[in-house]
Amino acid sequence: MRSDCEKVSLLLVGIGGFGNFYIRELLYGARAEVFQIVGAVDPYAGTGETARELHDRGIPVFDTLEEFYRIHRAELAVLVTPIHLHAGQACYCMEHGSDVLCEKPICAFPGDAWAMIEARNRTGRKLAIGFQWSFDEAILRLKQDIMDGVYGKIRRMRTIVFFPRGLTYYRRGSGWAGRRKLDTGQWILDSVASNAAAHYLHNMLFLCGSRISESAEPRVMEAEVYRANPIEMFDTCALRVSVTDGAELLFYATHAVPGAQAREPEFVLEGEKGTVTLGYREGETAMWGCTADGRVTVYEKPGADGMGKLSCMEGAIRKGEPLSCVAETALPHLKCIWGLAESFPETPRFPERYIEYEEDGEQYTCRGLGEALDNCWQKGSLPYEEEMAWARKPHEIFLGNTFYHE
Ligand SMILES: NC(=O)c1ccc[n+]([C@@H]2O[C@H](COP(=O)([O-])OP(=O)(O)OC[C@H]3O[C@@H](n4cnc5c(N)ncnc54)[C@H](O)[C@@H]3O)[C@@H](O)[C@H]2O)c1
């Protein structure tokens, strides 16, 4: 039996990019008292600043997982690596005795997700997927209220988010951003819906799930996807997803608006007995619910503690507490991403006359896109239904049960 004052030993896989946030938190943040980094794996760490910082603290950095596990063990492995590596690395770490917190999305290829679930079941390890809003106290409180019927049966939920990104975003890392598949044949499916804004599509599925660690099952999707950037996947999407119990989820996300139009996620959830809004209230972002009987519930703003998922891992490891986002919770999001990939083997580009290029920010945008998506979000419509000149007929995608039997 481990003592509560002993730190949880942790292996960090991937120390550049988002891995740096983990390093800051684990070395200098609140979780420095809870976890002990016993090693890191990153073949591209080189002699960069982060690698030096770890080295100065006596934390070894390896090129491969094999090298780490040859000598060391870790209770928890945190995977912050490109999407195509998640499955293989998660399985390897679980097989070598570590519980795993794998960054979102779970992976790109459904068969890889089954392999992860099978390895978890066989090894008896824990496997969480790092959609941080699904570990967020405010979101979990809201989900409990939804499950308790405070807002009645959910009819519709609409989410909008604009994260402007230039070419530097697509050039970062080892060249996997915006890719559909690597030259090795490994699936990446990196898009605005599977990476930067993935949280908010997943969040709608998550909130509509009938248990805490369950997400709603998507059945049919009407989808428009576009790109302004020279990428294989899409930087813009407008989706209407129908889930099992009949709720309609609308998702509008883009990287292709100018920096000045950046917009944090906002949503409106409409239930039979009330609504919940994440938006602006008295000049500040807030999340609040109103019920038909006039009751108003103010929730904390989600995302206050993006690293809360580490505390949940600690609770799971030390006390066997349940995890609110496990592999199965993340599958409905993957089902949408895979459905989009199958339906759109190639991504339509916005017509040339709408595309603008901003030299300083090295950013491609689509003229008028922000206003168009906002209009759609307000109405719950798709750009094609609003007769936007650049819009193409949405693909109707049936997300059948076969996904779960491959
Ligand atoms: N939760 C969030 O808010 C959030 C935010 C950003 C990224 N992410 C996720 O984090 C993951 C990484 O994204 P990123 O943007 O940091 O990518 P990145 O390409 O910028 O960084 C990935 C890191 O992994 C390293 N790496 C590459 N191959 C490796 C290997 N074989 N073994 C170990 N390390 C290896 C790279 O050297 C790099 O340091 C993705 O799954 C992404 O979706 C999550």
CATH 3.40.50.720 domain range(s) in the chain: 8-129
Residue 105 above 60 pLDDT?
yes
Compute the distance between CA of residue 331 and CA of residue 84 in angstroms, rounded to an integer: 16
174 Cβ closer than 6 Å to some ligand 1 atom: yes
Measuring CA to CA, which residue among 31, 79, 27, 29 is closest to residue 58? 27
Cα(284) to centroid(ligand 1), Å: 32
Cα(266) to centroid(ligand 1), Å: 26
Mean pLDDT of 303-313: 95
Could you read off the pLDDT of 247-259 as tens digits, one per residue?
Answer: 999 999 999 999 9
Cα(79) to centroid(ligand 1), Å: 8
18 Cβ closer than 6 Å to some ligand 1 atom: yes
Mean pLDDT of 321-345: 98
Q: What is the pLDDT of residue 175?
A: 86
Measuring CA to CA, which residue among 43, 35, 45, 117 is closest to residue 78? 35
Give the number of other Cβ atoms within 10 Å of residue 295's Cβ.
Answer: 11
Q: Which two tokens stand for residue 165?
A: 């990104």
Cα(393) to centroid(ligand 1), Å: 34
78 Cβ closer than 6 Å to some ligand 1 atom: no
Cα(63) to centroid(ligand 1), Å: 15
Q: What number does the ligand 1 atom closest to the CA of 177 have?
A: 19
Residue 13 above 60 pLDDT?
yes
Which of 136-145, 192-201, 281-290 has the weakest average pLDDT?
Answer: 281-290
Cα(173) to centroid(ligand 1), Å: 8
Could you read off the pLDDT of 47-64 as tens digits, one per residue?
Answer: 788 999 999 999 999 999
CATH 3.30.360.10 domain range(s) in the chain: 134-304+328-405
Beta carbons of 6 and 36 less than 8 angstroms apart: no
Residue-averaged pLDDT of the chain: 96
Assign 400 a pLDDT band (cuts: 50, 70, 90). Answer: confident
Q: What is the pLDDT of residue 2?
A: 59
Mean pLDDT of 364-370: 98
Cα dihedral 85/82/13/96 (nearest 10): -20
324 Cβ closer than 6 Å to some ligand 1 atom: no
Q: What number does the ligand 1 atom closest to the CA of 45 have?
A: 37
Residue 405 above 60 pLDDT?
no
Q: What is the pLDDT of residue 283?
A: 81
Q: What is the pLDDT of residue 284?
A: 87
Q: Which CATH superfamily is domain 134-304+328-405 in?
A: Dihydrodipicolinate Reductase; domain 2 (3.30.360.10)
42 Cβ closer than 6 Å to some ligand 1 atom: yes
Higher pLDDT, 367 or 403: 367
Residue 5 above 70 pLDDT?
no
CATH number of 8-129: 3.40.50.720
Strands of 218-226's sheet, edge to edge?
Answer: 296-299, 284-291, 274-281, 263-271, 154-162, 248-254, 236-243, 218-226, 395-398
Compute the distance between CA of residue 189 and CA of residue 186 in angstroms, rounded to an integer: 10
Nearest Cα residue to atom 27 of ligand 1: 81
Q: What is the residue whose two structure tokens read 């909130």?
A: 207
Residue 369 above 60 pLDDT?
yes
227: DSSP letter: B
Cα(82) to centroid(ligand 1), Å: 5
Residue 278 above 90 pLDDT?
yes
Residue 1 above 60 pLDDT?
no
Q: What is the pLDDT of residue 3?
A: 59
Give the number of other Cβ atoms within 10 Å of residue 319's Cβ.
Answer: 8
265 Cβ closer than 6 Å to some ligand 1 atom: no
Cα(81) to centroid(ligand 1), Å: 3
Could you read off the pLDDT of 61-89 as tens digits, one per residue?
Answer: 999 999 999 999 999 999 999 999 999 99
Beta carbons of 393 and 383 less than 8 angstroms apart: no
Cα(188) to centroid(ligand 1), Å: 12
209 Cβ closer than 6 Å to some ligand 1 atom: no
Instruction: Determine if the peptide bond prior to 105 is cis (ω within 30°).
Output: yes
Measured CA angle at 84 (ends 78, 85), to 5 deg: 40
Residue 19 above 80 pLDDT?
yes
41 Cβ closer than 6 Å to some ligand 1 atom: yes
Compute the distance between CA of residue 24 and CA of residue 9 in angstroms, rounded to an integer: 16
83 Cβ closer than 6 Å to some ligand 1 atom: yes
Cα(65) to centroid(ligand 1), Å: 15
- What share of the chain in percent tops pLDDT 70? 97
Could you read off the pLDDT of 145-171 as tens digits, one per residue?
Answer: 999 999 999 999 999 999 999 999 999
Residue 220 above 60 pLDDT?
yes
Residue 4 above 70 pLDDT?
no
Q: What is the pLDDT of residue 384?
A: 98
Q: What is the pLDDT of residue 401?
A: 66
Which of 42, 47, 89 to mutate to test ligand 1, by most ligand atoms within 8 A of the CB atom?
42
Cα dihedral 373/379/383/388 (nearest 10): -90
For residue 291, list its beta bridge partners: 274
Assign 98 a pLDDT band (cuts: 50, 70, 90). Answer: very high
Mean pLDDT of 294-321: 96
Helix axes 327-343, 110-123, angle to 10 degrees: 160
Q: Which two tokens stand for residue 180?
A: 């559909």
Assign 174 a pLDDT band (cuts: 50, 70, 90). Answer: confident
